[in-house]
Amino acid sequence: MLLRLSTLFVRTLREDPVDAEVASHRLLVRAGYIRRAAPGIYTWLPLGLRVLAKVEQVVREEMAAAGAQEVHFPALLPKEPYESTGRWSEYGPNIFRLKDRKGGDYLLAPTHEEMFTLLVKDLYSSYKDLPLQLFQIQTKYRDEARPRAGLIRGREFVMKDAYSFDVDDAGLDASYAAQRAAYQRIFDRLGLEYVVVAATSGAMGGSRSEEFLTPTPIGEDTFVRSAGGYAANVEAVTTVAPAAVDWSDAPSAHVEDTPDTPTIDTLVALANAKFARPDREWTAADTLKNVVLALVQPTGERELVVVGLPGDREVDLKRLEASVAPAEVEPAGDADFAAHPELVRGYLGPGVLGPNVEVAEGAERTAVRYLLDPRVVAGTRWITGANQPGRHVFDLVAGRDFTADGTVEAAEVRAGDPAPDGSGPLELARGIEIGHIFQLGRKYAQALGLTVLDQNGKAQVVTMGSYGIGVTRVLAALAEANHDERGLAWPAHVAPAHVHVVAAGKDPAVFEAAESIATTLAGRGVEVLYDDRPKATPGVKFADAELFGVPLVVVVGRGLADGVVEVRPRVGGTAEQVPLAEAPDRVAELVDDLLAD
What's the min distance (Å) between Cβ of 36 and a second copy?
10
**Torsion 500-506-510-511 (CA) sign:** positive
- Is residue 43 involved in binding a second copy (CB under 8 A)? yes
> Rounded to an integer, what distance in angstroms lies between the CA atom of residue 43 and that of residue 588?
32
- Is residue 537 involved in binding a second copy (CB under 8 A)? no
- Which CB atom, from 4 or from 208, has the smaller least distance to a second copy? 4
Give yes or no for a contact between 167 and 124, defined as CB atoms under 8 angstroms apart.
Answer: no
Give yes or no for a contact between 428 and 400, defined as CB atoms under 8 angstroms apart.
Answer: no
- Which CB atom, from 145 or from 241, has the smaller least distance to a second copy? 145
What's the min distance (Å) between Cβ of 145 and a second copy?
7
Omega before 131 within 30 of 0, i.e. cis: yes
Q: E-assigned strands of 221-335?
A: 221-226, 231-233, 254-257, 288-296, 302-310, 328-331
Helix (H, G, I), strand (E, B) or coil at 203: helix
- Which CB atom, from 132 or from 478, has the smaller least distance to a second copy? 132
Site for a second copy in 97-136 (CB under 8 A): 97-98, 100-101, 106, 108, 115, 119, 122-124, 132, 134
- Which CB atom, from 109 or from 343, has the smaller least distance to a second copy? 109
Taking CB under 8 A as the binding criterion, the range among 30-38, 191-199, 336-344, 426-434 that sits at the site for a second copy is 30-38
- Is residue 65 involved in binding a second copy (CB under 8 A)? no
- Which CB atom, from 101 or from 280, has the smaller least distance to a second copy? 101
Site for a second copy in 470-509 (CB under 8 A): none
> Rounded to an integer, what distance in angstroms lies between the CA atom of residue 446 and that of residue 262?
51
- Which CB atom, from 463 or from 472, has the smaller least distance to a second copy? 472
What's the min distance (Å) between Cβ of 20 and a second copy?
16
- Which CB atom, from 137 or from 567, has the smaller least distance to a second copy? 137
- Is residue 10 involved in binding a second copy (CB under 8 A)? yes
- Cα-based distances in Å from 430 to 223, 341, 412, 472, 523: 6, 40, 14, 19, 44
Taking CB under 8 A as the binding criterion, the range among 68-76, 213-221, 236-244, 572-580 that sits at the site for a second copy is 68-76
Among 19, 21, 70, 188, binds a second copy (CB under 8 A): 70
> Rounded to an integer, what distance in angstroms lies between the CA atom of residue 223 and that of residue 400?
36
Q: How many residues bind a second copy (CB under 8 A)?
A: 48
Could you count the other beta carbons within 10 Å of the beta carbon of residue 43? 11
State the helix-helix crossing angle for 471-481 and 23-30, rounded to 10 degrees.
90
- Is residue 76 involved in binding a second copy (CB under 8 A)? yes
Give yes or no for a contact between 452 and 124, defined as CB atoms under 8 angstroms apart.
Answer: yes
Among 30, 42, 431, 517, binds a second copy (CB under 8 A): 42
- Which CB atom, from 49 or from 291, has the smaller least distance to a second copy? 49
> Rounded to an integer, what distance in angstroms lies between the CA atom of residue 590 and that of residue 594?
6
Site for a second copy in 413-432 (CB under 8 A): none
What angle (nearest 5°) sits at the alpha carbon of residue 49, between those of residues 532 and 134?
A: 155
Site for a second copy in 138-157 (CB under 8 A): 139, 141, 143, 145, 155-156
- Is residue 450 involved in binding a second copy (CB under 8 A)? no
> Rounded to an integer, what distance in angstroms lies between the CA atom of residue 421 and that of residue 373?
19
Q: Which residue pairs from 172-178 have beta carbons closer than 8 angstroms and sit at least 24 positions apart in sequence? A: 172/439, 172/441, 172/463, 172/464, 172/465, 173/439, 174/131, 175/131, 175/133, 175/465, 176/208, 176/437, 176/439, 176/465, 178/66, 178/67, 178/133
Give yes or no for a contact between 296 and 333, defined as CB atoms under 8 angstroms apart.
Answer: no
- Is residue 32 involved in binding a second copy (CB under 8 A)? yes
Could you count the other beta carbons within 10 Å of the beta carbon of residue 39? 12
- Is residue 9 involved in binding a second copy (CB under 8 A)? yes
Element (H, E) at 123: helix 113-123
What's the min distance (Å) between Cβ of 233 and a second copy?
25
- Is residue 595 involved in binding a second copy (CB under 8 A)? no
- Is residue 49 involved in binding a second copy (CB under 8 A)? yes
- Which CB atom, from 155 or from 319, has the smaller least distance to a second copy? 155
Among 5, 44, 462, 583, binds a second copy (CB under 8 A): 44
Contacts with a second copy by CB under 8 A lie at: 8-11, 32, 35, 37-38, 41-46, 49, 52, 69-78, 93-94, 96-98, 100-101, 106, 108, 115, 119, 122-124, 132, 134, 139, 141, 143, 145, 155-156
